[in-house]
Amino acid sequence: MLNSSDPSATPGGQSATPGGQSATPGGRSATPDDPEKTAVIPAPDATAVLRPAVEDPDKTVALPEPAAAEPTTVAAAAKPPAAVGPTAAKPPAAVKPTAAEPPAATAKPAAAEPTAEETQVIRLPTGTTSRMDTSTKADETQVIRPSVPAADETQIIPAPKPKPQPAADETQVLPAPAAKPKPKPKPSADETQIITAPATSPAVTAIIPVVPGAQEPTATPAETTPAPVKDPARPPRPARRRPPLEFGHAPVVLVMSALGVLMVALAYAGGRIGTGNATIAYWIGQVVVFTPVVVRLLSRRMAGAAESFLLVMGLGLNQYLLKWFYSPEQFRFPDELQHWLGTTIILESGKLFQPNPALPPAVHFPGLAEMGAAVAALTGLPVEAAGIVVAGVARLVFVATLFAVVLRASRSPAVAGVCCAIYATALHYLFFNSSYLYQTAALPFLILTVWSTRRWRSGGGPQFLAVAVASIMVTTVSHHVTAFALVLTLFLLAAVELFLQKPRRWSALVVPGIAVAVVALWIGTVATDVVSYLEAPIDQVAETVRNLVAGTSEASSTTASVSIGQLALQGIGLIGLFVLYLALLRDMLQRSDRDPWRWAAIAGGALFFAGNGVRFLGQNGPEIAGRLSTFTYVPISIVAAIALVRGVQLIPARDADGKRHWRAAAPAIDYVAPGNWNLYSRVAAGSLMITILMIGARAGGWPPIGSILPGPYLAGAFERSVDVYGVSAAYWERDTLGHGNRVGGDITSVSLASTYGRQDPVREVGTLYYATTWSLEDEQLVSDLQIQYLVVDKRLGELLPQDEAYFENDPHAGSITSPLTSTQLGKFDTLPEVDRLYDNGTVRVYRMGNL
């Protein structure tokens, strides 16, 4: 029986099998292959053990052996009123069926037929689990079930002296009755055997550890203990056979998703040639790419971890292709161009830490550039191609690592898959975080650090600590903000663990301490300029907050205005996340949940909602909020995935009198039987919510809605502002002027000049362009900024800026109502001391050297 007060023991939780597989592989029975369903324990003569999937596997609950001698089938519920079994309405009467009752009655009648691979017989002595609690090995401890028909057998030697023990952990073990009948030989039906150890034998308790999702036990060196054999004359077959991969319907779902990619590609092509309905095709394509995968992940009918993983990776690949198809032949986003330059410099010089005028702080965070340079050198591909491959691999590694972390923590492929799908609705997921940026290189290693830390904390060997340290180092040398976020994440996890778990294990602080040391060492000795680099935007936000508190100014933003529809979409999505967050929080509070990882996700989720408030704080607020969400969206995705997959009750069900009891212990995980209307409605609602989140993120993320399709030149539109005219001018600067001249211009001109042109960018030049007549102040500014060349794009006089600004730190940002005039742009030709050295009909380059 399942403990309804504990989500780990709920049917919607985990299977009793490693890997989150159901007890009936292949979905042949009413205990289908949905990994979200708890395994039915049909063996009538055995002690049953259920291994929760959603809960922290670190814990194991052993229930005292009952005095009654009846067979036990399923772990007993601790709180009778709670929902047990396949539906929430199941009465708890099926907790301990008598020997005469079919054991499957506790769960699913249709699953009553025991098969060889379903039967779980585990006899653990009481009194052992309290020790297991303190064991760091407990994470991997799991009851073994042959995951493949006739693959393995389990032999159990019961302990003669059970002891009472506290129910401290979450795996529930009910021992077999004392007068248990001998198991009948079942050559093909049930291969589990219980072997009583001799009383004189110095028995050793050992539990084969298994890894969630692996569907296989861990083998240990033979020298520890020889494996027993049923028949000494028969040599044991190595138990190395992995269960077959089961991808379910994932390939078919991915075909649909790929059709969505094709539709978006058509939309992009339409945008480039100016087709009218390209935008409609784009949005339909986005939904087709995304939603079928989400529906399948939520359907609770997946074949297991392999299907969920394939779905998630397919979605990750398809979404990366959406980003790549936007500009497939070259980098256009300014930040990508900056890192293109950093990589090119390494290739040219063969050295790290060479000056990169386009992005000076990136010099001291060479992780991405090293990857790109190495791949370019090894493959002979151009830097653009190598960068696209590196960013794609990093993106896929990030998704896969996130999946592995959540799978490890939840033991649920569906939770892991849905979490990754929800994270795909983060504001910057689609473009920014999969671009060739140093953050893209660092993010996978942030998650990998969390994964390896968890493995180490839960009893993994020192090699996990080694992986954690290596990941910390890679993160640190790859991206500053991600390194800071990693330190905070590790401390959050450690703090929650120390707060919740007794006795406290101060070793939880080891990895965070190492992270602090590595980050501090790097910033203190190598990347000393990063503090000043990050100081400006933080100061700006802080000043805005101070002004707001003092009432001296209003929070404002000069970024592009947001439409009501866009705000509504994002608002609905945020409200949906908030409701799920509150529902899970309420659920955990009522159950006195003490799982540190879930509480850490709750704390991180709170940071997500707090971070959304930053977007209203000043000019950099939206960008900082968006960047922040890259990290805070991970915990909120986990929270939302648990709530959606587990069907956490948003509103308590009515009792017989029609009343709702908000303070009652609601079923923690409301198991919904497959096929009924409740499930369909939940899947539909969940899919709709996640789809709305995705649409809101695409509309409010990057690229901006006005340039969401590629196409002809737009002013002040980043990717859409890069075209052959600007690139041609940049190459002329490089070839004719040499490197390192001080060049000013609009956002795109400066970006191209500093990267393709290899010039030293001067960004604060807006006032020179807005002036209708040349003044002494302008001349002084040229002198102060040591400007040698100015780039003038005639199209600034024809088009309004898409992002509300022509220049970086534009003095008229947010208030530009008309393009620049021909007088403003043409005044440079009237200055007698100024040369016009370059003209391609659209872009002109002026030499200011005589001023």
Partner 1 sequence: MNRLLTRAVAGATLVSALLVLFTPRPFAAAGGLLLGFLLPGAALTQALFPVRVLTRIERLVLAPALSLATLVLGGLLLYVCRAPLGRVSWTALTAGVTVLALIATTIPRLRSTGGAAEDVTTTGDIRPARVVAAPQEVPGMAEAHTILMQVVPAENEATVAARDKAQRRKLIRQLLPLVLVVAILGGAGWLSLSTSQSTYDTTVTTLSASPPAPADADGNRTVVLKATGLLDQDAPYKVTVSPVAAGTKASRRITIDANGEWTETVTVPADSRVTVGLYRSGDDSAYRTVSIAATE
Considering only residues 188 to 217 of the shown chain, the ones binding partner 1 according to CB under 8 A are: 191, 197, 203-209, 211-214, 216-217
388 near partner 1 (CB under 8 A): no
User: Which residue, 92 or 342, is less far from partner 1 as judged by CB?
Assistant: 342
Quote the CA–CA distance of 31 and 13 in Å, as a whole number.
13
**Residue 448: half-sphere exposure toward Cβ, Cα within 13 Å:** 23
Beta strand spans in 448-574 (E): none
Nearest-approach distance from CB 253 to partner 1, in angstroms: 9
What is the smallest separation between the CB atom of 796 and partner 1, expressed in angstroms?
18
> Is the Cα torsion angle 530, 531, 533, 534 positive or negative in sign?
positive
**Tally of CB atoms within 10 A around 536:** 10
Residue 54 burial (C-beta neighbours within 10 Å; 0-12, 13-18, 19+): buried
Relative to beta strand 789-793, strand 742-744 is parallel
Ranges within 821-850 binding partner 1 (CB under 8 A):
829, 831-841, 847, 849-850
Near partner 1 by CB under 8 A: residue from 2, 448, 638, 782: 448
- Compute the least distance from the CB of residue 93 to partner 1, in Å: 30
**Which residues make beta-bridge pairs with 190?**
186
Distance CA 404, CA 313 (A): 12
Binds partner 1 (CB under 8 A): choice among 68, 91, 109, 131: 131
Would you say 693 and 637 are in contact if contact means Cβ atoms under 8 Å apart? no
Size of the site for partner 1 (CB under 8 A): 171
Q: Which is nearer to partner 1, 165 or 691 (CB)?
A: 165
Nearest distance in Å: CB 110, partner 1 = 23
* Residue in 700, 691, 683 with CA at minimum distance from that of residue 573: 691
Residues 258-287, interacting with partner 1 (CB under 8 A): 258-259, 261-262, 264-266, 268-269, 272-273
Cβ nearer to partner 1, comparing 90 with 454: 454
Least distance CB 50 / partner 1 (angstroms): 15
x-or-dash pattern for partner 1, window 315-354, by CB under 8 A? Answer: --xx--x--xxxxxxx---------------xx--xxxx-
From residue 704 to residue 723, what is the string marking binding to partner 1 with x (rule CB under 8 A)? ------x-x----------x
Which range, of 304-312, 535-543, 658-666, 673-681, touches partner 1 by CB under 8 A? Answer: 304-312
User: Pairing state of beta strands 789-793 and 843-847?
Assistant: antiparallel
Residue 171 Cβ vs partner 1, minimum distance, rounded to whole Å: 12
Helix (H) or strand (E) holding 699: helix 677-700
- Which residue of 185, 232, 276, 380 would you call a contact of partner 1, by CB under 8 A? 380
Site for partner 1 in 164-193 (CB under 8 A): 191
Q: Residue 729 is encoded by which pair of tokens?
A: 């001018």
Out of 4, 128, 691, 721, name the contact with partner 1 by CB under 8 A: 128
Interacting residue with partner 1 among 404, 494, 527, 585 (CB under 8 A)? 404
The site string for partner 1 over 4-23 (x = CB under 8 A, - otherwise) reads ---------------x----
Distance CA 140, CA 131 (A): 15
Q: What's the min distance (Å) between Cβ of 594 and partner 1?
A: 20
Closest to 611 measured CA to CA, from 632, 593, 639, 641: 632
453-472: contacts with partner 1 (CB under 8 A): 460-461, 463, 466-467, 470-471
Closest CA relative to residue 333, chosen from 444, 479, 434: 434
Contact 349, 763 (CB under 8 A): no
Window 735-794: residues binding partner 1 (CB under 8 A): 736-737
Q: Give dist(CA 818, CA 808) in Å, integer.
A: 18
Task: Find the part of the chain contacting partner 1 (CB under 8 A) among 128-136, 502-510, 564-572, 646-654.
Answer: 128-136
| Closest to partner 1 by CB, 138 or 358 | 138
Return the exposure string of 508-521: e unless at least 16 CB atoms fall within 10 Å of the residue's CB, then b. bbbbbebbbebbee
In the complex, minimum distance from the CB of residue 621 to partner 1, in angstroms, rounded to a whole number: 32
Task: Kindly tell me which residue out of 67, 98, 100, 240 binds partner 1, with binding defined by CB under 8 A.
Answer: 240
3-state SS, residue 792: strand
Find how far residue 718's CA is from the centre of its chain: 27
Site of tokens 């028969």 = 234
Q: In whole angstroms, give the CA distance from residue 323 to residue 326.
A: 5
Choose which of 50, 394, 419, 643 interacts with partner 1 (CB under 8 A).
394
